[in-house]
Structure formats: structure tokens, C-alpha cells
Structure 1
């Protein structure tokens, strides 16, 4: 419920309204806390997959690159958010949309960088840059292609993204991929650090209120960090060394890692741009309904898509990962009742300041992988839950069940057994083993070509007796 001291109901529903500064600043920082951990986590995961190391044990070679990626995640999340809140011509919805690094692209990025170190970064960031430009172009047609992306497709894709990521969370909680062959992998100490994060997050999410509840994951990771410090998993000397190594101020460098064209990277990022664009459309609609009690306009949807793509392209040019709108902040707007875009602008400026100070990224890079694992178990599980929630809007007739079954079987199967396509060309193999892209393509194509007549047929023959009271749980219309 909105606080009446912030303004009148009409003012609070107005994106152009500016609350008093002493109230607007805490509200803006609240938006940052709600998304902060989710925003920097993809950079840490990609750096780890490439082999940069984690925590205070990060080697001298990998440390600067990992810190730089974390730093750029904060800086360009802030800049991309300004594209949305302030806008430039047709770019930007001019709504309180918070942008941040997208989880959706992680299953595409991990195969691109796995074990390749810094050598993988030129192709990665070139793909982000070109994919962002393609994403921006979707703003011209987003209204006309939404018909091809119903909840059946988008819900499946979001669920697949979460399923691809939950394995990462478990691996991190157990000690990380580099430790798999070591005796301490899966030890009680490793799991205890992860479980501290999970339990503290759950406790705060359900039994706390206000800012503490909103930033439950961030506080949970802080609690896990303190636990790891007490248990000797991270040392004060290690933190001091990482902090001292980082420069007090660093400006981003355009194409710091060079420019390298990779067909797999470009195709992967362009195809996933469709998913990100649809997610942003949903967030814009949610903000307008939850904050202003109205539908989003075509200009707002197109402007948000333009800003999504432009923010990603600019991020890629400076060594940051793809950006998208953050759904947790949509819920925060509905909770506070404050629709002001200027409040989110204040939060964006705070992110930009953090992104210009490498010491912030250096401290984040000392988080033990097991502690991060506890946080991502929660976050990635919520991605799966979000996908399932979207699927609840699907009419589960036989046609849609067949589409879902085939797309899920192929996509998830290729994720679990990548060697099944080992004889494909390298580019195609990377795209196929992500699982997400084949599942999305199959779902989109089948949804467009299968006749609607299937929808009127009975569903019993595909339920295999597993549905129990099938006639009561599945609509046959």
C-alpha cells in the first residue's frame, strides 16, 4: 500500500511526479538493493566459467578481468536504466523501469567461454554488442510479432532458462566446478555456507517487512559472507589484498578486449533478444497496471524495447553483459505504489557511481563461491517458478501439450546430453546444446503451423494416466 505522505494518489500514479528528495533517495536505493545481487551474479558466473577464479583465491591474472566485468555490470545497468527513465527521442519508455544484467543469456554465454579464459571475451562482447543492435531493431516490430510468442512459448523458454541454471547453483553450493575433483567438493562446510544464505533469505522474505524483505537475497548473502569469514573460508587478509589491488577510480574502455566476430555468439544473442524483448514487454505492462492502473501504450512498449537493445549494445561495447528489465522491481513498484521514474533515476545514478569505483567490484569478487551458490539457488529457482507461473495461463489442450512436450524433451535433453550432437559444426553445436534455442524454435514453429483443430480433440491419449482426474484438470476447448 502506498504511503500517503509521499503524495496524493494521482501524483503517485504519475511517472513524472517527483517526491521530496529526502524520501525519493531512500526509495531509489531500495530499487538498487532489490536488484543488486541479481545484477552482478551473471558476470561472476561467466567469469567463473571462463576460468577467472572466485573469492579471495582469485589469481592475479583473472582478478582484474573479473572485477572489471562486475564493475561494468553496475555501471551499464545504471546507464541502461537512464535510457528507460529519461529517454532520448523514441528510445526509452520514460517509466520507472530498472535495467540489469540478464540471466536469460547465461546458458548461451557459458558454452561460448567455457575454459577459454580471457581469449573468449572478444567474441563474447562482440556478440553482446551486435545482438543489442538487433534487439533495438525489434522495437520497430515488437507489436507485430507478439502473436508468435504466447504464454506457451514464453513460459517454456523462461522455464528452460531456469532449468539450465539450477545445476550451476548446486555446483556452486558444493564448491564450484574447479573443485569437483577435490575432496572438499560437496563437504558439509561448503553446504553450510550455502544453506545459511538460503535460510536467512527465506526468513527475511516471509517474516520481515519493507526494505529488509525486498533485499532479502542481498542480506542473505551478507550473512553467508560473515559466516564464511568466521569459518575461515575467506580471510580478512584476502579481502584487504583484493580491496588494495583495485584502483580507486576507473573509466570504462571501449572494446577493451578487442573485436572478434563469432557466428555462434551473434546468432545466439540475436535469438535470445526475442526472449528478452518479450520479458520487457511484460514488465512494462506490469508496471503500468500495478503502478498506474492502466494498459501500456504502444509508444511505451516500443520505447522500452529500443532502450533494452541500446543498453545491451552500449554495454557490450564496454565489456558488460546483456541488459534487460528487472521483474523484481516491477513488484516493488506495485508494493510501494510509487510510479515516479525520477525515483528510479536516483537509483540508476547510485549504480553508476558504484560502477566507476573498482573497489566495490573487488569486494564483491571475494564472495566465496559456496555463498554465492546459496543465493543463486534461490534466484534460479525463482526463474523456474516465474516460467511455470506464465504457463498457468496456457489452455492445456492436446495441441499445446504436444508442443510443450516435444520442445521440452528436445531442449532439456540436449542440455543434459550435449554429446548427442557432437558431430555438428561447432557453431551449431553450441546453439543446440544451450537447449533454450532449440526449445524456443520448436515451440514457435509448432505453435504457428499446427492446426487449431487439435485443440478440440480429447486429451486423454497423451496424459498416459498420469493426470488422475484428467477431465477436471485439462480444458478440452
Structure 2
């Protein structure tokens, strides 16, 4: 790859910074709201997320898998936690009990990720998560998060009504970023995400006014802010399974991004990636954050910007740490309208959805029964589109698992693949 000019390098680093902010800010905000945290506690959680994500992403780029992939709050974890918050009252759990049980599950998942990485679990994971399972995972993950971002960018209220003025602005941002990334040339295409975020932010503030920064920066690395450690077997088991699938997320992201760099990732780099992700998951459990994993949306970001060099990513990660360390800067970026961030992320996950479609086209569809694709995909989609309360009739211990469409879809796919005859031979044709 040709070296970047100083100007391009700096702008690319700032673009990564904005991408990190947009991907991160909405997660601790939603967790603070779901668990009823105060403004100061939520602000502290945001700053803690900034610092930790910047540090973990930097470690991944330098000593982990060594690709420019954002190591952010895992989508599977985020969806799981929000789903459990919605169903906690029906399960008879208080939010501190839920938060404490999730913390135990995250700590366990972090330790297991490190141990399995050290034991060479990557090779077994590659056999279990074959191309069909990976397609199911990418498809359901992109659908789950695109649905979330779509609701945000449309300004959909609790009652289901669309905020039309906000929706118009959001659609304009989506169209602008898509046109710049697909049709633009040179710097326009390379910085389409950055242009969309800054332009959308300015446009939104001009039309609807700016949000007021938080008066307090909060306390960073506040120990167990969601609740003291508790043991709810169903939640701990579900969190453990989420941790295993999050390991598969690392496998998906790394094996997908390597095609952009035309190289094969060595096993030792997978292992190093799991060490960093596992350590980050432990930190997340202790300090109330959503655990981490390589963001598959980073692949869409790289495809949109066409800047594959690692240097700007490292710069962006370092700047992200600074944002978390300086309360005023973190507070300023916390005022970025959620609808603007959701609009830009909608475009990034469209790219991820496109990757899932391309992977389907690579499958030997003439040689495999299509039910191995359709059953887990449609059941997962069905569960994603019903409220958690639908599963109240099931035993409490399995409600956290069975109400999560992504988890159910991926587990069904794994079961179908493990019980299918000659699956490896079919996929090799």
C-alpha cells in the first residue's frame, strides 16, 4: 500500500476517531438508560468506554490480530443486555441483580476466552463455525443492529410513531454517505464517513438545536456500577454462550478482513486476539461496560473509505483515549445527535449485510440442503421481531437464551451443521 501524505494520514486518523465515537457513544448511553443510572454515572461510563476501547483497539492493532479493526462493544453482547433489561421485570429480577449476574457471566466469559485461546481453540472454532454458520451469524448480526439503527435514525418513539423531520434529515445523511462512498472519487470517497458525520451533525444542530453537554464528567472506572456480583444461573449460562459466540465474532471479522489485505492470518495472531479480547471482557464486567470484540462494521468502513493503512487507525485509537481522559472533550462528543450516528452506522452495516450476501453466493448451494440456511435464518429473524415478553411462559432459566434471535439462530445453525452428514465434503466442492 502506498504511503499516505501527512494531511491524508491526519484526516484518516480523525475519521477513525469519529467512527469510534459514533460506534461507542450510543452503547453506554443506552445501558445507562436501561439500568437507570444518573447523568454523572452515565457520563463516567461513556468516558470509561472511550479509554478502554481506545486502549484495546490499539493493543489489537499492535500485538493482537494486527489489523485496523475497531475493538468495540460487541453487538451480540449489547443486544443480549438490552433484551435482558427489557425482560428483567417479567423474570422477577431487579436491575442490580441483573447487572451483578451479567458481571459474573462476563468475568467467566473473559477467562474462558483467554484459556480457550491459549489451548488452540481457534482450530476447533473454525471447524464448528464453518462457512454456513458464519453466513448465518453475519446475516443475523447485521439485521439485528440495522433494525436498531433504523429505529434510531427514524426517531421512532415508544408508541411506534416516526418523527418525520428527523427521519427526513436521517435519510438525507444516508443517501449522501452512500453516494459519496459508492460514486465519489479520491478524497470524497475516502472521507465519506467523516463528511457524513460532521455535515449531518451541523445540519441537525441547525434545524433542531444542540444538546447541552453533561455538567459532570463522572468517575471513570467505577467498580461494578450496575450491581454487586450475583449468581443467576440462567443469565450466567447465557452470558457464557454469548462469550463463545463472541469468539466466533473474532473469527468472522478477522477471516473476512484478511481478504482485503490478501493474506492469511496465522494461528498465533488469532490467539493473541483472544488474549486481548478476553482481558477486555474481564475489564468490561468489572466496570459496567458491554464486552468487546472486533467490529465487523469496520470492514464496511474500510471498504467505504478505501484507506487500509494501520497508522491512521492507531492515531484514531490514541485520540479516542485522550477523549476519555479529558472530561470536556468527552462531554462535547457525547452531544452528537444519536440519529446522526445511527444514520452513518446504518450505511456501515449495509456494507456488512452485503458481505453476508456475498458469502452466501460463495456457498455450493447446489450441493447442500437449503434448510441448513433457511431454518436458523428465519427462526432467528422471527425471534428478533417479537418482544422479550413473548417468552414469559418458558422457565426463567432459559428465557435469557431463547429470547435472543441471534443466539438462537447461530446455535441452531451449529447444531444443524454438526448433525449433517458429509458437511465438510459438501463445502469443499
Same fold per superposition (TM over 0.5): yes
Counterpart contact for 1:40–1:70, Cα < 8 Å: yes
Counterpart contact for 2:391–2:399, Cα < 8 Å: yes
Distance, in Å, in 1 between the alignment partners of 2:313 and 2:346 is 27
Counterpart contact for 1:36–1:218, Cα < 8 Å: no
Distance, in Å, in 2 between the alignment partners of 1:279 and 1:453 is 21
Partner SS for 1:427:
coil
Distance, in Å, in 2 between the alignment partners of 1:218 and 1:123 is 38
Where do 1:244-255 residues align within 5 Å?
245-247=215-217, 250-255=219-224
Q: Equivalent residue for 1:415?
A: 384
Kindly tell me: are residues 198 and 255 of structure 1, through their superposed partners in 2, closer, same or farther at Cα, counting changes over 3 Å?
same
Higher-Rg member (1/2)? 1
Q: Say which of 104, 107, 117 aligns to 1:129.
A: 107
Partner SS for 1:100:
strand
Counterpart contact for 2:383–2:403, Cα < 8 Å: yes
Where do 1:170-319 residues align within 5 Å?
170-178=150-158, 180=159, 185-209=161-185, 213-232=189-208, 234-235=209-210, 238-239=211-212, 242-243=213-214, 245-247=215-217, 250-257=219-226, 258-285=228-255, 290-291=260-261, 293-319=262-288
- More displaced 10-residue stretch of structure 1: 446-455 or 295-304: 446-455
Kindly tell me: are residues 362 and 211 of structure 1, through their superposed partners in 2, closer, same or farther at Cα, counting changes over 3 Å?
farther
Q: Equivalent residue for 2:91?
A: none
Q: Does 1:354 align with 2:319?
A: no
Q: CA deviation at 1:156?
A: 0.5
Q: Equivalent residue for 1:366?
A: 335
Counterpart contact for 2:114–2:275, Cα < 8 Å: yes
Q: CA deviation at 1:173?
A: 3.0
Q: Does 1:39 align with 2:24?
A: yes
Distance, in Å, in 1 between the alignment partners of 2:314 and 2:330 is 22
Kindly tell me: are residues 263 and 363 of structure 1, through their superposed partners in 2, closer, same or farther at Cα, counting changes over 3 Å?
farther
Unaligned runs of 5+ in 1: 7-20, 53-60, 457-474
Q: Say which of 161, 166, 169 aligns to 2:149.
A: 169
Q: Equivalent residue for 1:461?
A: none
Which TM-score applies when normalising by structure 2? 0.82
Kindly tell me: are residues 328 and 228 of structure 1, through their superposed partners in 2, closer, same or farther at Cα, counting changes over 3 Å?
closer
Kindly tell me: are residues 327 and 371 of structure 1, through their superposed partners in 2, closer, same or farther at Cα, counting changes over 3 Å?
closer
Q: CA deviation at 1:299?
A: 0.8
Counterpart contact for 1:73–1:320, Cα < 8 Å: yes
Counterpart contact for 1:35–1:329, Cα < 8 Å: no
Distance, in Å, in 1 between the alignment partners of 2:150 and 2:14 is 30
Partner SS for 1:104:
helix
Distance, in Å, in 2 between the alignment partners of 1:36 and 1:353 is 12
How many residue pairs get aligned? The number is: 417
Counterpart contact for 1:71–1:360, Cα < 8 Å: no
Where do 1:449-464 residues align within 5 Å?
449-452=419-422
Cα shift readout 1:328-371 (whole Å, capped 9, x = no counterpart): 5557499445356xx54433221111122333443344344444
Partner SS for 1:231:
helix
Q: CA deviation at 1:114?
A: 2.6
Q: CA deviation at 1:378?
A: 2.8
Distance, in Å, in 1 between the alignment partners of 2:263 and 2:48 is 35
Unaligned runs of 5+ in 2: 89-93
Counterpart contact for 1:66–1:365, Cα < 8 Å: no
Q: Does 1:395 align with 2:364?
A: yes
Cα shift readout 1:278-327 (whole Å, capped 9, x = no counterpart): 33234444555544x43221111111122122222223322222211234
Kindly tell me: are residues 374 and 31 of structure 1, through their superposed partners in 2, closer, same or farther at Cα, counting changes over 3 Å?
closer
Which TM-score applies when normalising by structure 1? 0.75
**Bigger relative contact order, structure 1 or 2 (CA pairs below 8 A, ≥6 apart):** 2
Kindly tell me: are residues 378 and 288 of structure 1, through their superposed partners in 2, closer, same or farther at Cα, counting changes over 3 Å?
closer
Cα shift readout 1:15-45 (whole Å, capped 9, x = no counterpart): xxxxxx8886555444434443223333334
Kindly tell me: are residues 164 and 231 of structure 1, through their superposed partners in 2, closer, same or farther at Cα, counting changes over 3 Å?
same
Q: Equivalent residue for 2:2?
A: 3
Q: Equivalent residue for 1:338?
A: 309
Q: Equivalent residue for 1:159?
A: 139
Distance, in Å, in 2 between the alignment partners of 1:269 and 1:212 is 42
